[in-house]
C-alpha cells in the first residue's frame, strides 16, 4: 500500500504526545509505547502491540486485551519485502535480470486493454511503475483468486501512465509467478529456503489456502467489528499472503538492512527510489522523519490486520507495530509514532 505523507509527522507528533494520559505510567513509558492506545479504534475489541529492537535489546508494549507478543498475525503487504528480496537474490545469482521483460518469463500472459508485457520490465514491477491496475480494487481484498485470475482481472482495465509510481498488488503477484518460472519452485518455497529458514523465522509462513492461523493467535476484526480471524490468504497471494510475528518481522528487517540477505550492491538497488520518484524502492519505502532520520520498511493491510515495520538504514533499530483490525484509528498517527520512536533514544 502507498506510504503515508511524512510532512504530517511533526505536528502530529506534538499533538500525539500532548494527548497522552497525564499519569506516571504514561510519563515513564517511551513515547511510542504510550501512544499505542491512540492507534486502537474505539468500540469492539481491537488492540495494538509493538516490538522495538536495538541490537540484541527488545522492548514490547501493548494496548487492549486479546493481543500478545507471541501472536501470529497476517502481515498483508509486508509480504512484498520478502518477495522483492527473493527476486534480487535471483538477480544476484544471474538467474534473471531486472531489465528482463515480463514477456520473457511469462510469455503471452500480460496482454489486453493496452497492457503489454513486452514493454514492462521486472524493475517496473518491483518499483510499482508498470502502470498495471490493482486487481484488489475489483475483488475488495476479500475474494480468493489464483495468481492468473488476479492478472486477468487487472488486464480488463487500461494501465495507468507507465513510468509513474502507481501502487498495484498485481505487480507482486506477477513477481511470484516469475519466481516460480525461473526456479521451478513456488515463491513460498523460495522465500522459505532463502529467508525464513536461514534467519530462523519460526513464526513466519506462507499459508497458501489455509484459512486458520497458527497458534498462538488472537482474533482479527473487520472495520464493522466482524470476526475475520479465519481468512483465505489467496485474497492477496504473493502481494500479501504472509503470516508472521512481531519478533520475526523485527529480525527480518534487521537482517535485510544489516546486509545479511543481500550484498551491498543489491541492497543499494533495493533502496534506490529514483524509478518511483522517491516514493518506493523495491519492496521497501522510505519515511523521512522530522529529526532528519530516514527509516525504511513497509506497511501491510489485510482484512483484520494492520502492520507497520520500519528500521534505520543499517538495520540496527527496528520497530514493528500492529493492530488486530483493518486500520489504525487515525492513519495520520503512523508517522508520529515512528518519529516518537526513532527521533528519541528509547532503548
Q: Is the peptide bond before 100 cis (omega within 30 degrees of 0)?
A: no
Backbone angles phi, psi at 219, to 5 degrees: -100, 160
Q: Exposed, middle or buried: residue 184 (CB in 10 Å: 0-12, 13-18, 19+)?
A: exposed
In angstroms, the CA 46 to CA 218 distance is: 10
For the segment 67-92, what is each residue's pLDDT rounded down to a tens digit?
A: 999 999 999 999 999 999 999 999 99
End-to-end CA distance of the chain: 29
Domain 6-78+203-342 class in CATH? alpha beta
Q: In the chain, where are the structural domains located? A: 6-78+203-342, 79-183
Mean pLDDT along residues 327-332: 84
Q: What is the DSSP code (8-state) at residue 143?
A: S
Percent of the chain with pLDDT over 90: 83
Closest of 285, 302, 203, 198 to residue 246, by C-alpha: 203
DSSP reduced 3-state for 70 = coil
In angstroms, the CA 299 to CA 168 distance is: 14
In angstroms, the CA 285 to CA 277 distance is: 11
More confident residue, 20 or 98: 98
pLDDT given for residue 90 in this prediction = 98
pLDDT band of residue 21 (cuts 50, 70, 90) is very low
Contact between 302 and 141 under an 8 Å Cβ cutoff? The reply is: yes
What's the predicted TM-score (pTM) here? 0.93
CB atoms within 10 A of CB 317: 25
pLDDT given for residue 12 in this prediction = 46
pLDDT given for residue 143 in this prediction = 96
- Has residue 319 got a pLDDT over 70? yes
pLDDT given for residue 58 in this prediction = 97
Contact between 191 and 206 under an 8 Å Cβ cutoff? The reply is: yes
Amino acid at each position: 500500500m502507498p506510504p503515508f505523507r511524512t510532512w504530517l509527522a511533526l505536528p502530529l507528533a506534538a499533538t500525539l504526545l500532548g494527548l497522552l494520559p497525564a499519569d506516571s505510567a504514561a510519563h515513564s513509558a517511551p513515547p511510542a509505547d504510550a501512544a499505542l492506545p491512540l492507534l486502537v479504534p474505539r468500540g469492539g475489541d481491537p488492540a495494538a502491540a509493538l516490538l522495538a529492537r536495538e541490537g540484541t535489546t527488545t522492548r514490547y508494549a501493548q494496548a487492549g486485551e486479546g493481543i500478545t507478543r507471541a501472536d501470529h498475525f497476517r502481515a498483508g503487504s509486508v509480504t512484498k519485502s520478502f518477495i522483492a528480496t527473493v527476486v534480487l537474490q535471483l538477480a544476484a545469482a544471474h538467474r534473471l535480470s531486472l531489465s528482463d521483460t515480463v514477456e520473457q518469463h511469462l510469455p503471452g500472459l500480460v496482454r489486453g486493454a493496452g497492457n503489454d508485457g513486452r514493454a514492462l520490465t521486472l524493475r517496473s514491477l518491483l518499483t510499482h511503475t508498470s502502470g498495471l491496475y490493482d486487481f484488489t480494487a475489483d475483488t475488495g481484498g476479500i475474494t480468493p483468486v489464483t495468481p492468473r485470475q488476479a492478472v486477468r482481472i487487472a488486464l480488463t482495465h487500461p494501465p495507468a501512465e507507465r513510468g509513474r509510481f502507481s501502487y498495484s498488488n498485481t505487480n507482486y503477484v506477477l513477481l511470484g509467478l516469475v519466481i516460480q518460472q525461473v526456479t521451478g519452485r513456488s515463491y513460498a518455497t523460495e522465500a522459505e529456503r532463502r529467508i525464513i529458514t536461514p534467519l530462523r523465522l519460526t513464526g513466519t509462513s506462507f499459508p497458501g489456502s489455509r484459512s486458520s492461523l497458527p497458534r498462538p493467535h488472537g482474533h482479527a476484526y473487520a472495520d464493522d467489528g466482524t470476526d475475520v480471524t479465519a481468512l483465505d490468504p489467496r485474497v492477496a497471494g504473493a502481494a500479501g499472503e504472509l503470516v508472521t510475528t512481531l519478533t520475526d518481522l523485527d529480525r527480518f528487517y534487521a537482517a535485510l538492512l544489516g546486509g545479511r540477505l543481500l550484498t551491498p550492491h543489491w541492497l543499494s538497488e533495493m533502496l534506490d527510489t529514483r524509478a518511483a520518484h522517491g516514493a518506493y524502492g523495491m519492496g521497501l519505502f522510505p519515511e523521512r522523519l522530522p529529526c532528519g532520520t530516514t527509516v525504511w520498511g513497509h506497511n501491510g493491510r489485510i482484512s483484520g490486520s494492520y502492520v507497520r515495520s520500519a528500521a534505520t538504514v543499517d538495520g540496527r533499530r527496528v520497530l514493528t507495530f500492529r493492530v488486530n483490525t483493518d486500520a489504525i484509528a487515525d492513519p495520520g498517527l503512523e508517522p508520529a509514532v515512528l518519529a516518537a520512536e526513532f527521533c528519541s533514544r528509547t532503548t
